[in-house]
Structure 1
Amino acid sequence: MNKLLFGTSGIPLSTNPRNTIEGIKQVKKLGLDNMEIEFVRNVNISLEKAPEVRKIKTEQEINLTCHGQYWVNLNSQDKAIVEASKKRIIDACTIADAAGVWSICYHMAYYMKLEKEVVFLNIKNALKDVFKELRDRSINKLWLRPETGGKINQFGDVDELVKLSQEFEQVQPCIDFAHHFARTQGKCNTHNDWSKILETIEKGLGKEGLNNMHCHMEGIEYGTSGEKSHVNLKECKINYQELIKAWRDFKIKGVITCESPNIEEDALLLKNTYKSQF
């Protein structure tokens, strides 16, 4: 990536008719740069349809990312669940790659009351199997990204994401800044706080870590367990202006996907606020 792109989590609300192809076109009309395909409930693009998606996104000059299925837990003590989780990742990556998706993110696991080191090893071993199958399918350019967990019982603090990224060539973090805000009970909310996240990435992954970012941002409500629900940016206490200053100061590149309920409205708010600082 040579710049920072902004886009929607899923098809923009203003799209009519509501389908992936029209969603890509609407992202272009809105003046945004990226659309995140939502496979969170199921993989809703067929292998036959994927080349058409790739063609349209190329014609419209829109980047594509993807959010994989929610039903994944690579740390389950039930081997059948782990195997099913690996299959879901492989199946989604196969379609995403065919559709020209640049990066796909996942909530990889829950801690299940195990030591963090054990959880990390379980995820690492499962991903070895995933990447073996992806290599066999010649899927070697798609980024697979563990995402920041919004709940404190989810795998995915910043240090864990960086550490896992150091283990695989095709893995980089997906930083959800709102999830981090919720995970820390709102304690991360100043320019210095946001900067520390980016410093951790740069220290662990080098400049490439800052030049190759897949991020989420949205408004969020949280409780003692972390994330409760997504809300619009102006309806919560996140200091997104100071976060955007940190993006500018660290010259990050990649994609910012907006997951607020109003999707494109907050995506444009983020993009326009970012642009106004130059």
Structure 2
Amino acid sequence: MSKHKINKLLFGTAGVPLSTPERNISNGIVHVRKLGLDAMELEFVRQVNISKEKAPQVKEIAAKNNVVLTCHGQYFINLNSLETEKVNASVQRILNAARIAWLCGGYSLTFHAAYNMEMPPEKVYEKVKKEMQDIMKTLKNEGNEIWIRPETTGKGTQWGTFQEIVKLSQEIEQVLPCIDFSHVHARNAGPELNASKYNNYKEFSEILSYVEKHLGKEALNNMHIHVSGIEYGQKGEKNHLNLPDSDMKYKELVRAFKDYKIKGVVISESCKLESKAF
């Protein structure tokens, strides 16, 4: 089990803040602190853009500025691909991101794990579980203790309901959920585009209660959360929006965070990253 834990709830940006002078990762970390935020997510969504040689410097700058780093892995991941070479490539992308994020002093790595490929949910789950077990075995053998967190996804074609990810976390050590509340809302709005579905204090609380019931209080003390405004259609997520431009009831979400006394990191994925990091 990872020893990396946080003693309060921190807020930060998905990537380098837009207002950063001379935008790069190191300057972004420094600027996050100047903005009064406490975390920044390394965006490896296209590629792992920090070298093994550069990572210790990133770790040092983050420690000096008391900024916690999380990481978002590449989009090109599908642990349920029908093609073996694509599964193998996906595994390597997760491992490479985890290795560099760990060298950077990272707290947590998240990624979208798989697509359903029109297969039965039970079969997809077992395939994802097998690949994740192999990934975690490799990381354990390397002494890598970063939290590994499949993210709740925003479309029905993607694997990753919060129930599926909680179940996976029960079965594999050092795995916990990354709960993207905007994705959960978009995924469950349904054909009627129900703006209130998983978008109120009661249902936010139900998600947190579900996590606590199945994973224990430790999981609520080690959260990795994504929040943004979100545009969605009948098939789920379309794109991210700024929170005020969306129907996301983020003030009710923050109230649920407070009432459940959760700890960890909340990352704003809104278009204007730092302006609405709560």
> Smaller-chain TM-score range?
over 0.9
- Which of 6, 16, 25 is residue 21 of structure 2 equivalent to? 16
> How far did residue 132 of structure 1 move?
2.1
Q: Does 1:257 align with 2:267?
A: yes
| SS, match of residue 201 in structure 1 | helix
The CA distance in 1 between the partners of 2:123 and 2:21, in whole Å, is 47
The CA distance in 2 between the partners of 1:189 and 1:131, in whole Å, is 33
Q: Which residue of 1 aligns with 2:249?
A: 239
Q: Does 1:160 align with 2:164?
A: yes
| Map 1:15-54 → 2, pairs under 5 A | 15-54=20-59
After TM superposition, the runs of 4+ consecutive aligned structure 1 residues lying more than 3 A away are none
Structure 2: which 5+ runs fail to align?
Answer: 1-5, 190-194
| Map 1:90-105 → 2, pairs under 5 A | 90-105=95-110
Q: Which residue of 2 aligns with 1:58?
A: 63
The CA distance in 2 between the partners of 1:206 and 1:128, in whole Å, is 21
Q: Which residue of 2 aligns with 1:275?
A: none
The CA distance in 2 between the partners of 1:89 and 1:39, in whole Å, is 10
- Which of 137, 147, 153 is residue 151 of structure 2 equivalent to? 147
> How far did residue 138 of structure 1 move?
1.7
Which whole-Å deviations, capped at 9, do the CAs of 1:149-200 have from their partners, x for residues lacking one?
A: 0111111111111001011111000000000110111311111011110011
The CA distance in 2 between the partners of 1:60 and 1:161, in whole Å, is 32
The CA distance in 1 between the partners of 2:136 and 2:199, in whole Å, is 36
Q: Which residue of 1 aligns with 2:175?
A: 171
Letter in 1 for 2:165: L
The CA distance in 2 between the partners of 1:17 and 1:136, in whole Å, is 38
| SS, match of residue 214 in structure 1 | strand
Give the % identical residues: 52
| SS, match of residue 138 in structure 1 | coil
Which whole-Å deviations, capped at 9, do the CAs of 1:99-135 have from their partners, x for residues lacking one?
A: 1001000100011111111111101111122122212
Q: Which residue of 2 aligns with 1:276?
A: none
| SS, match of residue 258 in structure 2 | helix
What TM-score do the two structures reach when normalised by structure 1? Answer: 0.95
The CA distance in 2 between the partners of 1:263 and 1:86, in whole Å, is 29
The size of the alignment, in residue pairs, is 267
> How far did residue 16 of structure 1 move?
1.4
Q: Which residue of 2 aligns with 1:214?
A: 224
> How far did residue 263 of structure 1 move?
0.1
- More deviation in 129-138 or 32-41? 129-138
Structure 1: which 5+ runs fail to align?
Answer: 271-278
The CA distance in 2 between the partners of 1:84 and 1:189, in whole Å, is 36
Which whole-Å deviations, capped at 9, do the CAs of 1:74-103 have from their partners, x for residues lacking one?
A: 011111110000011111111111110010
The CA distance in 2 between the partners of 1:48 and 1:263, in whole Å, is 28
| SS, match of residue 244 in structure 1 | helix
Q: Which residue of 2 aligns with 1:225?
A: 235
Letter in 2 for 1:91: N
RMSD: 0.7
> How far did residue 136 of structure 1 move?
2.7
Which whole-Å deviations, capped at 9, do the CAs of 1:234-262 have from their partners, x for residues lacking one?
A: 00111111111111111111000000000
| Map 1:113-152 → 2, pairs under 5 A | 113-139=118-144, 141-152=145-156
